[in-house]
């Protein structure tokens, strides 16, 4: 059989409840020249059983528990397509996701990677918030300031060779591995943001992003690595204090959402100490929380082919 154009990589650890819907949302894409690689990262539930019999286009790989970065990297190594795309095992794609992103790569040869906007949804596919990404003149600075990156782990489509040349997902990062890769991919402005809402990102108690404390060490590791690079653009190096301050402010905001006030004050103070410019960002956190959840209980209009996935 001919090699597929796109290899869709789905890392999965104990995703028996959602993995079948995730895979089916890929099988129902309007772009069909694809294969699906499910990389089971040592699941102890019925994840492998749930994908049996779905399609001959699904390839299943199992490994001992090594973390999501290595699961994605395993998928990259096994991928037969020249283009790779990523979907977490509890998220969903809307039917035109691949087709629209592939259109960008075909029309703009200098672009090597594309992300898109996402709807944050619950298990009933009710919209909790809409996270839009916009094309920017300086994608790297935006990402370093934790802007314009709504759901990279389930929105990224990229040329395989480019991911490989960047070193793939950081094996030494327990979280923020998608943010770290986005920053590396954007070093020469080859990553484009597509504003279309094409991904449903499930929110649930098991989301890793809710655990604020695990962001600290990976954030330090990634930023220290970036600023120790002698080839780093001077426009970024001159904003080092501002970037560190935004990272500290992000931690403060996360702890505030969890009502961990001691940690909120600690990281907020570190942020302001690094760069007083961050005061405006900290002061605006409550407003952004209100805006973020203003769409709660609204329904998005689903294509009939996805309505059964809720």
Arithmetic mean of pLDDT, 204-223 = 87
Percent of the chain with pLDDT over 70: 90
Q: Please tell me the distance from the alpha carbon of residue 116 to that of residue 217, in angstroms, as a whole number.
A: 28
- Structure tokens given for 39: 């990389």
Q: Using 50, 70 and 90 to split pLDDT, how confident is the model at 304?
A: very low
Among 25-29, 41-45, 237-241, 294-298, which is the least confidently predicted range? 294-298
3-state secondary structure of 246: helix
Q: Using 50, 70 and 90 to split pLDDT, how confident is the model at 111?
A: very high
Report the predicted TM-score, pTM, of the whole model to 2 decimal places.
0.91
Arithmetic mean of pLDDT, 68-76 = 97
Arithmetic mean of pLDDT, 185-193 = 90
Percent of the chain with pLDDT over 90: 80
C-beta of residue 139 within 8 angstroms of C-beta of residue 187: no
Q: Please tell me the distance from the alpha carbon of residue 190 to that of residue 9, in angstroms, as a whole number.
A: 21
Arithmetic mean of pLDDT, 156-163 = 97
Backbone angles phi, psi at 12, to 5 degrees: -145, 125
Arithmetic mean of pLDDT, 236-248 = 97
Q: Using 50, 70 and 90 to split pLDDT, how confident is the model at 309?
A: low
Q: Please tell me the distance from the alpha carbon of residue 296 to that of residue 293, in angstroms, as a whole number.
A: 5
- The pLDDT value recorded for residue 305 is 45
Arithmetic mean of pLDDT, 233-262 = 95
- Over 80: is that where the pLDDT of 9 sits? yes
- The pLDDT value recorded for residue 216 is 97
Location of structure tokens 């960047």: 166
Provide the residue ranges of all domains of the chain, joining segments of one domain with +.
6-209+298-309, 210-292
CA 261 to chain centre: 28
- Structure tokens given for 34: 């694809």
The CATH superfamily holding the domain 6-209+298-309 is Spore Coat Polysaccharide Biosynthesis Protein SpsA; Chain A (3.90.550.10)
- The pLDDT value recorded for residue 291 is 54
- The pLDDT value recorded for residue 125 is 86
Average pLDDT, the chain: 91
Arithmetic mean of pLDDT, 91-96 = 97
Angle between helices 240-257 and 285-292 (to 10 degrees): 60
Q: What is the largest CA-CA distance in the chain?
A: 60
């Amino acid at each position: 059989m001919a090699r597929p154009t796109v290899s869709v990589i789905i890392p999965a650890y104990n995703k028996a409840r959602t993995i079948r819907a995730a895979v089916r949302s890929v099988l129902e894409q309007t772009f069909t020249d694809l294969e699906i690689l499910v990389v089971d990262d040592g699941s102890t539930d019925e994840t492998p059983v749930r994908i049996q019999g779905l399609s001959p286009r699904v390839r299943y790989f199992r490994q001992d528990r090594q973390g999501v970065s290595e699961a994605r990297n395993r998928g990259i190594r096994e991928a037969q397509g020249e283009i790779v795309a990523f979907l977490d095992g509890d998220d969903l794609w809307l039917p035109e996701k691949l087709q629209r992103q592939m259109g960008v790569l075909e029309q703009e040869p200098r672009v090597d990677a594309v992300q898109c906007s996402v709807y944050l949804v619950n298990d009933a596919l009710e919209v909790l918030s809409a996270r839009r990404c916009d094309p920017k003149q300086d994608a790297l600075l935006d990402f370093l300031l934790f802007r314009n990156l709504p759901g990279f782990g389930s929105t990224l489509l990229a040329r395989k060779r480019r991911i490989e040349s960047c070193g793939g997902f950081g094996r030494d990062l327990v979280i923020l591995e998608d943010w770290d890769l986005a920053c590396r991919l954007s070093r020469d402005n080859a990553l484009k943001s597509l504003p279309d809402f094409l991904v449903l990102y499930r929110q649930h108690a098991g989301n890793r992003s809710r655990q604020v404390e695990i962001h600290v060490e990976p954030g330090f590791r990634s930023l220290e690595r970036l600023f120790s690079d002698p080839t780093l653009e001077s426009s970024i190096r001159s904003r080092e204090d501002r970037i560190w301050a935004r990272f500290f402010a992000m931690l403060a905001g996360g702890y505030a959402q969890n009502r961990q006030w001691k940690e909120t004050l600690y990281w907020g103070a570190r942020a302001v100490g690094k760069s007083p410019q961050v005061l405006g960002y900290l002061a605006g956190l409550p407003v952004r929380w209100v805006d973020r959840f203003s769409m709660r209980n609204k329904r998005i209009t689903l294509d009939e082919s996805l309505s059964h996935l809720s």
